[in-house]
Amino acid sequence: MSDVLLDVADLKVHFPIPTGGLIGGRTRWLKAVDGVSFSVKRGETLGIVGESGCGKSTLGRAILRLIAPSAGRVLWLGQDLSGLSQEEMRRHRREMQIIFQDPLASLDPRMTVGDIIAEPLTALEPDLPKAEIKERVRSMMSKVGLLPEMINRYPHEFSGGQYQRIGVARAMIVRPALIVCDEPVSALDVSIQAQIVNLLMDLQAEFGLTLLFISHDLSVVRHISHRILVLYLGRVMELADRDSLYREARHPYTRALISAVPVPDPLIERSKRIEFLSGDLPSPIDPPSGCVFRTRCPHANDLCAAKVPDLEPVGTDHQVACHRWREIG
Amino acid sequence: MTNGTQAPDMAPPVRGRSLWQDALRRLSHNRAAVAAVVVLALVVLLAVVGPWIAPHAYDELYFDHVAIGPDLDAGFLFGTDTVGRDLFVRTLMGARISILVALAATSVSLLIGILYGAIAGFVGGRVDNLMMRFVDIMYALPFMFFVIILMVVFGRNIVLMFLALGAVEWLTMARIVRGQTLTLKNREFVEAAVASGVTRPRIILRHIIPNLLGPVAVYITLTIPQVILVESFLSFLGLGVQEPLTSLGVLISEGADEMETAPWMLIFPATVLATMLFCFNFIGDGVRDALDPKDR
Amino acid sequence: MAVIDIRNLEVGFDTPEGKVQAVNGINLSVDRGECIGIVGESGSGKSQTFMAAMGLLARNGTARGEILFQGEQILGLGSRALNRIRGNAMSMIFQDPMTALTPHLRIGDQLTEVLTTHKGLGKRAAAARAVAMLEQVRIPEPARRMRQYPHELSGGMRQRVMIAMALLCEPELLIADEPTTALDVTVQAQVLSLMRDLKDRLNTALVLITHDLGVVAGLADRVMVMYAGLVVEEGPVETIFTDPRHPYTQGLLNSMPRIDRAGEERLTAIPGQPPNLQRLPSGCAFRPRCAYAFERCEQERPELEDIAPGRRKACHRERLEAVS
Ligand SMILES: Nc1ncnc2c1ncn2[C@@H]1O[C@H](COP(=O)(O)OP(=O)(O)O)[C@@H](O)[C@H]1O
Ligand code: SF4
Ligand code: SF4
Ligand SMILES: [Mg+2]
C-alpha cells in the first residue's frame, strides 16, 4: 500500500494534571487522546469531528509533534516520526503544515504579510535568494486570492476572511503533502466560510493535497471530506467513508450528532427527529469505564460499563466501536 | 475564483502601517504626551549642550559672588552656591549626569532583563524555575543596602553606580518580560512558527521579543524616572557622584542644607527634577494608551 | 399591540477613525408568542439594534429613532427607569454566558437576586422559584447547582442558567443574541428545543439573533435579513427559505453546506469581503458582491418595499433570474 501517506497507530496524549496538596498529591492524567489509530491516503481528506474538548485539536497537533505524544506511533510514508529529535522533526515540517482556527491570532501582528507567508520558506530553505522568496510569496498570494501588492501590509489591515487566506498561503508556500486544518472556517462568517472551503478544495485538486479537516461542523465536514473519523473523549467512535457515515451511521453518538445539526429548511428542520443526549461531556480526567460514551448513551447496558468496545468493521471502509451496533440496527 | 485573483502582478506594493506606526500616530494625538516630549527634549538638549555654551564652567569658583541669589547682571541666572559656583551651569550639569545615569542603568537593565526573562519564559520548566528563584533571592536582598555596600567598598564611582543600579533594575524587567513571554509562548502565532519549522532562538528573536516591546516600552518610561530618583537619593546620602561633578540629587541635598539662607539652591534643581519626572509620567501614560487603545 | 416596536432606529459610534453607522434606520416589531429571526454576518448591526433597546450601547454609541416597549418609548430612558424593564419584562441572553454571570457569586444568589429585586419575593420563595426554573431548563440536580459558582459549570449548563435567569420574571420579550453559537450541536439542540417550548407555553415574544440559518429555520416565524446596518429582506420563514428574493439572502442560503445533501463539487460562495461600514459603496451597499447588480444599483439606494403580503425587500431587481 504505497499510497498511504500517514499512518497513526494507538496514539495517546496524556497531560499531567497537578492535583491539590503540595506534597504527596499524586499526578492525575487527562487523557486528551487515548489510543487513536487511522491512516490517510495521499490526496484524501479525512474529516475529524466531535464536540469541543474531545481531543480533535490535540490529535492534530500531536501528529505534527507540536505536542509530544505520550505513546503510539505516527508513520509518515512508512517512517516512524515519534522517535525523531526536534531538529529532525523540523526538517519534516516542509511536508506537513497546519492552518489554525483563529486566523488572526495565528499571525504575528508585528510582521508584514509577506514575511509571515515566507516564514516556512525562510526557515526551511535558508539558502533561497530573497528575490526568489518574494516571487514565490507573490504568486502564492494571488493563488489564494490575496492581492500581491498587499505584501507589505500588516495583518490588522485585513479582514476576517483574508486572515485565513494568509494562513492558507503560509501553509502552502512549501508545497506540503499534508495540511492539518484545525477548525479553519469555524471563526468565519457564513459567506466567507464557503470561500475558504472552496479554496481548500481547489488547492487540493491542483496539488493533490492531503487534508486532515478538524471541525465540529458536520455539514462542512460532509461537504469536504472523503472519510470521517468521529472522536469522543479522545477515542475513535466511528470511522467511515463519507456516504456510509451520513447515510447509515452506526454509532449512537454519531447518530445523535448528525440528528442535532440544524438544516436550513423550515419544513425539514421542524419535522425531523432529534436524538437528544442526556447530560454533559464527562471529564477526560475520569472517563467512564468500558465504553466512554455510556453515560450519555440511550442503549448502554452492563457490558458497556465492563468492557471497552473494539473498533470493528461493519462494511467496506466502515468501522464502529460499539458493543450493540448490530442490535441497534 | 474570488475577488482580486486576477489583479495585475505589476501593481506596486502598498506600504503597510505597522502597529508601531499606528501607536506613534496615536501618541502624536495625545496633547499631554506631546507637550511632555517637547519639554523633556528641551531639558535634555540644555543638559547636553548647556554646560559647553554657558558663560561659566561648572567647577569655576567666583569668590566675590558666594551664595548670591539669581543675578542677571553678574550672569548668574540661578544664582551661585556656597562656594561661589554658577548654579545654572551646575544644575544643567547635574541634569546631564542624572540623565546619563538613568539611560545607562536602564540600558543595562533592558539588556539583561529582556534576554533573561525571554529565555526563562520561553524555555520554561526547570530552567525557568531556577532562573526565577534566583531573581526572587535577589529581590529579597535589601537592594539599597547592596548598592550602599558596593559604593562604600569600591569607593564612589560613577560607572559602578551605573552597573549597580542597572543590576538592580533588571530584576523587575526580567519578571515583566518573563510573564509576557509565557503568554506569548501560548499564542497561536508562536505555534504557527514552530509548525513552520522556525528554530527556537529565531522564534525568540523574531516573534517573542518584538511582541514584548510594547510592555517593555511602558516599563522603560517608569524605570528612567525611578533610576533618577534612586540616584538622587544615593547622592542625597552622600554616596553619589563626586565633587566637583554633580547630579540633581547632590544639588538638592546641598540646597536642602541652605534652605533658609539660600532657597534658590534648592528651588532650581528641585524644579528641574520635578519637571523631568512629570514629563516621564505623561509620556509613560501616553505610550501605554497609544500601544493599547482598547485599554481606556 | 406589538411587544416591541422599533421605528427608524439609527445607531452610530464615534471612533478615532470617524463615525461608524452600525444601524441605519430599521423598523421592526414583534408580537406576543412570535419569534423573529435576525440573520446577517458579523458587523451587520444585529446585536447593536437590541443593545440600543436594552440601553446597553457602549459609551461612544448614540441611538436615534423610537423604541416602543409595550407602547412606551424606552429609547433614551435613564438606567433607573430602564432597570424596571430590563431583566424583568425584557431580558437578553448573550453568546458568552460567562460575561453575563458574575464570577464570584453563587448561581443561586444570582438567580434569587433577580426575583427579590423585581418581584419583591422573600429569600425562601425566591430560592424555590429559582430551583423550579433550573429544573424547567433541564439542569440536572438543580439544588446542588444553586450552590455552585459559574466556572464550575460547563458551557451548555451556563447558557441554560442564563436562560433560566432571563426567564425568571417571565419576560414579555426575550432577546437571544447568538445563544447557541458557543455550544456543541448536541447541547444546541437541547437549548433550542427549550426555547421553542417556552415560546409556545409562555407566549413569550422572542428575538433570535444568529448567523446560522439552520437555527432560524427551526425556531423563527419571521425572518429579517440584515446587511450593513440595513434590513434587506423580511418575510415569513417558509417563504424566505424556499423563495429568497434578495441576492444576499439567496447567497447566504447557497453558500451553506447542508448536512442533508451529499457534497456537490463547489459551494456557491458570496464573493468579496463583508462591508466596511466606514467606506460603504454608493447606492446599494451589497453591490460590490452582487451578481445581479446593474447601473441603477450604483446610483440609488434601494428602499425596503412590500413585494408580497408580509414580505419586503430592498433591491432594484424585481426577479432574480440568472444574469449573463
Ligand atoms: N496543555 C494542556 N494541558 C491540560 N489539558 C489540555 C491541554 N491542552 C488541551 N487540554 C485538554 O485536552 C482536551 C482536548 O482538547 P482539544 O484537543 O483542544 O479538544 P477539541 O479540539 O476537540 O476542542 C480538553 O479537555 C482540553 O482542556
Ligand atoms: S458500547 Fe454501549 S454505551 Fe457504548 S455506544 Fe455502544 S451501546 Fe452505547
Ligand atoms: S439593488 Fe442591485 S446591487 Fe443591490 S442587491 Fe439588488 S441587484 Fe444587487
Ligand atoms: Mg479545538
Nearest alpha-carbon partner for B52 in B89, B9, B1, B102: B89
Residue of chain B minimizing CA distance to C288: B3
**Antiparallel, parallel or unpaired: β C305-308 and A71-76:** unpaired
Which is more confidently placed, B234 or C131? C131
Return the pLDDT at A144.
Answer: 93
**Antiparallel, parallel or unpaired: β A318-320 and A312-315:** antiparallel
Return the pLDDT at B63.
Answer: 75
My answer on whether A133 and A180 are in the same domain is: yes
Between CA A111 and CA A113 the distance in angstroms is: 6
Q: What integer is the mean pLDDT of C188-203? A: 86
Residue B236 pLDDT exceeds 80: no
Question: Which residue range is the domain that position A194 belongs to?
Answer: 42-68+85-225
pLDDT band with cut points at 50, 70 and 90 for residue C263: low
- Residue A74 in domain: no
Q: Is B163:B108 a contact under the CB 8 Å cutoff?
A: yes
Q: B24 CB near a chain C CB, below 8 Å? A: no
Return the pLDDT at C180.
Answer: 84
* Least CB–CB distance from C186: residue in A159, A246, A256: A256
Residue A7 pLDDT exceeds 90: yes
Strand partners, A7: A39, A75
Scan residues 169-198 of B and list those with Cβ closer than 8 Å to A.
187-189, 191-198
Q: What integer is the mean pLDDT of B43-51? A: 83
List the grid coordinates of A283: 471529564
Highest mean pLDDT among B47-51, C162-166, C203-207: C203-207
Residue B3 pLDDT exceeds 50: no
Highest mean pLDDT among A119-123, B1-5, C86-90: A119-123
**Antiparallel, parallel or unpaired: β C311-313 and C90-93:** unpaired
- Residue B7 in domain: no
A151 to A147, B111, B193, C317: CA distances (angstroms) = 8, 32, 19, 38
At which of A225, A247, A273 does a domain end?
A225
pLDDT band with cut points at 50, 70 and 90 for residue B296: very low
CB contact under 8 A, A152 and B14: yes
**What tens digit of pLDDT does each residue of C21-67 get?**
999 999 999 999 999 999 998 888 999 999 999 988 888 899 999 99
List the grid coordinates of A326: 448490530
Test mutation, A119, A170, A179, chain B, max B CBs within 10 A:
A119
Task: Cite the DSSP H helix spans in B209-263.
Answer: 209-236, 248-257
- Residue A285 in domain: yes
**What tens digit of pLDDT does each residue of A38-68 get?**
999 999 999 999 988 899 999 999 999 999 9
Q: Looking at residue A139, which CATH number applies to its domain?
A: 3.40.50.300
**Antiparallel, parallel or unpaired: β C205-209 and C173-177:** parallel
**What tens digit of pLDDT does each residue of A62-109 get?**
999 999 999 999 999 999 998 899 889 998 999 999 999 888 899 999
- Residue B82 in domain: no
Judged by average pLDDT, the poorest of B5-14, C139-148, C274-283 is B5-14
Between CA A125 and CA C268 the distance in angstroms is: 38
My answer on whether A220 and A244 are in the same domain is: no
Which is more confidently placed, B263 or A110? A110
List the grid coordinates of A235: 477515542
Q: What integer is the mean pLDDT of C279-288? A: 92
- Residue A57 in domain: yes
Residue B10 pLDDT exceeds 60: no
* Least CB–CB distance from A100: residue in B12, B192, B206: B192
- Residue B15 in domain: no
Task: Give me the percent of chain C exceeding a pLDDT of 90.
Answer: 50
The binding-site residues of ligand 3, defined as CB within 6 angstroms of any ligand atom, are C 247, 284, 286-287, 290, 292-293, 297, 302, 315-317
**What tens digit of pLDDT does each residue of A170-220 get?**
999 999 999 999 999 988 888 889 999 999 999 999 999 999 999 999 999
Residue A23 pLDDT exceeds 70: no
Residue of chain B minimizing CA distance to A192: B2
Residue B141 pLDDT exceeds 80: no
Which is more confidently placed, B262 or C317? C317
Residue A22 pLDDT exceeds 70: no
How far does residue C229's CA lie from ligand 4's centre (Å)?
A: 32
**What tens digit of pLDDT does each residue of A215-265 get?**
999 999 999 999 999 999 999 999 999 999 999 999 999 999 999 999 999
Question: Which residue range is the domain that position B202 belongs to?
Answer: 20-54+88-295
Residue B1 pLDDT exceeds 50: no
ipTM score of complex: 0.87
**What tens digit of pLDDT does each residue of A266-324 get?**
999 999 899 888 877 888 888 999 999 999 999 999 999 999 999 999 988 999 999 99
Residue B2 pLDDT exceeds 60: no
- Residue B13 in domain: no
Between CA B185 and CA B207 the distance in angstroms is: 9
Residue bearing the CA closest to ligand 2, atom 3: A294
| Nearest-atom index, ligand 2, CA of A299 | 7
Q: Is C213:C252 a contact under the CB 8 Å cutoff?
A: yes
How far does residue A70's CA lie from ligand 3's centre (Å)?
A: 56
* Least CB–CB distance from C271: residue in B2, B29, B293: B2
My answer on whether A284 and A313 are in the same domain is: yes
Q: Is B170:B219 a contact under the CB 8 Å cutoff?
A: no
Between CA C267 and CA A197 the distance in angstroms is: 8
My answer on whether A89 and A55 are in the same domain is: yes
My answer on whether A220 and A254 are in the same domain is: no
Q: In the sheet that A318-320 helps form, which strands lie side by side, from edge to edge?
A: A96-99, A178-182, A210-214, A45-49, A227-232, A235-241, A318-320, A312-315
My answer on whether A202 and A284 are in the same domain is: no
The amino acid that residue B43 corresponds to is V
Return the pLDDT at B8.
Answer: 40
pLDDT band with cut points at 50, 70 and 90 for residue A20: low
Q: Average pLDDT over chain B, rounded to whole?
A: 80
- Residue B273 in domain: yes
Angle at A262 between CA A256 and CA A264, to 5 degrees: 150
My answer on whether A186 and A256 are in the same domain is: no
Between CA B94 and CA B240 the distance in angstroms is: 11
| Nearest-atom index, ligand 1, CA of A59 | 17
My answer on whether A200 and A311 are in the same domain is: no
The DSSP letter of residue B92 is H
My answer on whether A128 and A64 are in the same domain is: yes
Q: Which residues of C touch B293 (CB under 8 A)?
A: 16
**What tens digit of pLDDT does each residue of B81-124 get?**
777 788 888 888 888 888 888 888 888 888 889 989 999 998 88
My answer on whether A254 and A138 are in the same domain is: no
DSSP secondary structure of C97-145: HHHHS-TTS-HHHHHHHHHHHHS---HHHHHHHHHHHHHHTT-SSHHHH
Q: B3 CB near a chain C CB, below 8 Å? A: yes
Q: Looking at residue B282, which CATH number applies to its domain?
A: 1.10.3720.10
Task: Please give the tally of structural domains in chain B.
Answer: 1
**Residues ≥6 apart with Cβ < 8 Å to A287:** A31, A34, A233, A234
Task: Please give the tally of structural domains in chain A.
Answer: 2
Scan residues 198-257 of A and list those with Cβ closer than 8 Å to C.
198, 201, 216, 218-220, 222-224, 242-243, 246, 256-257
Judged by average pLDDT, the poorest of A204-213, B229-238, C182-191, C223-232 is B229-238
Task: Give me the percent of chain A exceeding a pLDDT of 70.
Answer: 97
- Residue A231 in domain: no
Nearest listed ligand to the Cα of residue A52: 1
Scan residues 204-243 of B and list those with Cβ closer than 8 Å to A.
206-207, 210-211
pLDDT band with cut points at 50, 70 and 90 for residue A24: low
Place of cell 423550515: A266
Return the pLDDT at B253.
Answer: 80
Residue B7 pLDDT exceeds 60: no
The DSSP letter of residue C301 is P
Residue B132 pLDDT exceeds 70: yes
Place of cell 524555575: B129
Return the pLDDT at C183.
Answer: 79
Q: Is C230:C300 a contact under the CB 8 Å cutoff?
A: no
Residue B273 pLDDT exceeds 70: yes
